[in-house]
Amino acid sequence: MISYSINECHGIYRIYYRIPDKNGKLKQHSKSTGYKAQKGNKRKAEAFAREYIAGLEGLSLDNGNMLLCDYVADWVERDKARVQITTYDGYKHMLNKYIFPYFKSTRLNIRDVKPMHLEKYCADKIADGLSPNTVIKHLAVIRTALQDAVKNGIIRSNPADLVEKPKRVKPKHDFYNKAELQKLLAVSKGTSIELPVFLAIVFGLRRSEVLGLRWSAIDFENDTLTVCNKIVRGVVDGKVTDVASDTLKSDTSNRTFLMNEYVRNYLKDVRKQQLERARITNDYIDYVCVNMIGERIKADYVTHKFRDLLDAHDMRQIRFHDLRHSCISLLVNSNFNMKQVQEYAGHADFAITANTYAHIDLTVKKAEIDAITSQLV
């Protein structure tokens, strides 16, 4: 059975499929369906694709020479249209740097894959210095590709289902305390990343959300700020670039904040200055985070300038993303319960908030212990 996908190319639905040569090496092929990518034509294109694939003689993925590495590579490409660009880039990085070279060297046939092969991969990669959490992500990619092979009738069951996964290590998050955040706000004043720093600290936004924020999402009449866009790093036409997206990390990432007077006045001043400033382009006039000539601030620029800013003022090095953690930790230390913090942060799962910030909450609970013991002694 030949696996295939249908994607739009230059306004036409096109079939993309791979078939192995006599050595088991997958070769990419494509075929135009002849149907324009418009309403009502998708089903026609799918019917054409089924008939075309069925008519290919002697070209089947269901053969004994199919290598695991080739099938995972094929699945990653076919899955591209269904995932966000950052997810696809992550898959490609795992595949090209780790998964494909490793299993290419073993020449492991997809039908011969056993749980022990995948467990050995995990052990070898951890021995090479990768973290267990990273290796678990690799295993998830391999497992999903193998599940696709099950669906396509190439293997009967998924050997990855029986793999004993490495023990996950709880990630460590760094935080700035109140005094450090106050100093950071002061030293960032007047710099090119003052606004990204401010937004990350006050609203706990991710870098992608900070750079994707638009003036049209800020309502000064009702004092609301809505997070509904992001800017991510992705590969377009073979080049790494910043890509705008209205699909956030999860549904709960789409959230609305109420601004107080301080935040409203701060952002109004920023907006006034930007409108008075000369621009070389109006392409990004709706974006909040732009530079002095009206260009959208780039993701890598924020990361590098943030590191330089901390160095210049002898401040403890943290990641820009840790400003989000610092914001959330301030909420926890201000006696907001975990459910309130979850909603402010836009976490999809309460467990994410509770597991990450529980140790901070323990310091808050001292007052509760004092209340209990004061009545007993």
Q: Tally Cβ neighbours within 10 Å of residue 175.
A: 19
- How would residue 59 be classed by pLDDT, with cut points 50, 70 and 90? very low
Residue 99: partners with Cβ closer than 8 Å, 6 or more residues away: 69, 72, 121, 138, 141, 142
- How would residue 313 be classed by pLDDT, with cut points 50, 70 and 90? very high
Contact 326, 176 (CB under 8 A): yes
Its pTM stands at 0.66
CA distance linking residue 336 with residue 37, whole number of Å: 50
- Residue ranges and CATH numbers for the domains of the chain are 1-63 (no CATH), 66-169 (1.10.150.130), 178-315 (1.10.443.10)
- How would residue 156 be classed by pLDDT, with cut points 50, 70 and 90? confident
Contact 69, 23 (CB under 8 A): no
Paired strand residues for 9: 12
Contact 62, 6 (CB under 8 A): no
Quick: pLDDT tens for 202-260. Answer: 999 999 999 999 999 999 999 999 999 988 776 655 666 777 777 666 666 789 999 99
